[in-house]
Every structure is written in C-alpha cells, then in structure tokens.
C-alpha cells in the first residue's frame, strides 16, 4: 500500500534556499517514504508526533560527495496511518531543525 506524500508549503521554500544535493536527497527520501514510511534510518522525535530521518550512506546509497553535502541535514515528517499519508514538515540543518519544530503547527 503506497502512502500519499504531501509537502507543507514552507518545505518547498526551504528547499529553494538549499543546495541541489539536499533537494535531490529530500525528494528521494520522500519517494521512498511512500512505500516504507518507517525506514531503518528514521526515529520518533522525543515529545512530539513527528518522525525524523537523517542521511545514511548505506541505506540511501549516495555517492560520497552527495553524502557529505547532506549528512548534517534532517527531514521531519508526520505519519498519518489513518489517512495513509506522510506529510513532510521541515528540512533543515540538525543545528536548527529541532528549534523549528516548536514553531510548526499543522492545520
């Protein structure tokens, strides 16, 4: 069963500010979330309903150059099993992502 992938509008604005390697990684991960919404390199974010994915060289099978470009970035998403959808909430550097989570509201 394939999950529907949805991007919050803020994510698309965030991606425009980031490099093409990061943008490619985000779209590759989103595509893989459609078939496997809880991959090996995902974890639940403490005290929140969100999940996070960090790059994993073995799982994502990225070239070394691309891995170095994305290794410090995180993708945050919300898994809604009742409606069979994955909502990509944010993409940012690990230094900033968890600060941004407290400001995110889903309607």
Domain assignment of residue 21, yes or no:
yes
Q: In whole angstroms, what is the distance from residue 38 CA to residue 34 CA?
A: 10
Any idea what the CATH number is for the domain that residue 12 is in? 3.30.2310.20
Does residue 107 lie in a domain region?
A: no
In 3D space, the residue among 90, 74, 98 whose CA is nearest the CA of residue 9 turns out to be 90
Domain count, the chain: 1
> Is 40 within a domain?
yes
CA-atom Rg of the chain in angstroms: 13
Residue 106 lies in a domain: no
- Asked if residue 79 is part of any domain, the answer here is yes
Identify the pLDDT of residue 105.
67
Total number of residues shown for the chain? 107
* Residue 95 included in any domain: yes
- pTM of the shown model: 0.85
Residue pLDDT, tens place only, 65-101: 666 778 888 999 999 999 999 999 999 988 888 888 8
Q: Is 53 exposed, middle or buried (0-12, 13-18, 19+ CB in 10 A)?
A: buried
Q: Specify the pairing of strand 4-7 against strand 85-93.
A: parallel
In a domain, 12, yes or no: yes
Are the C-beta atoms of residues 55 and 41 closer than 8 Å to each other?
Answer: yes
Q: How confident is the model over 4-41, as pLDDT tens digits?
A: 999 998 899 989 999 888 898 899 889 989 999 998 88
Which domain covers residue 24, as residue numbers? 4-101
Q: Looking at the domain assignment, is residue 75 inside a domain?
A: yes
Is the sign of the CA dihedral 44, 75, 25, 30 positive or negative? positive
Question: pLDDT per residue over 42-66, tens digit each?
Answer: 999 988 899 999 887 666 666 666 6
Chain segment 93-105, per-residue pLDDT in tens:
888 888 888 777 6
């Amino acid at each position: 069963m394939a999950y529907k992938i949805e991007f919050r509008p803020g994510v698309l604005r965030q991606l425009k500010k980031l490099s093409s390697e990061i943008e490619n990684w985000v779209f590759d991960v989103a595509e893989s979330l459609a078939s496997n919404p809880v991959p090996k390199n995902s974890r639940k974010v403490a005290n929140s309903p969100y999940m996070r994915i960090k790059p994993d060289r073995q799982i994502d099978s990225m070239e070394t150059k691309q891995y170095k470009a994305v290794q410090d970035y995180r993708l945050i998403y919300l898994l809604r099993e009742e409606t069979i959808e994955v909502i990509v909430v944010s993409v940012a550097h690990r230094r900033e992502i968890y600060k941004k989570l407290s400001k995110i509201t889903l309607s």
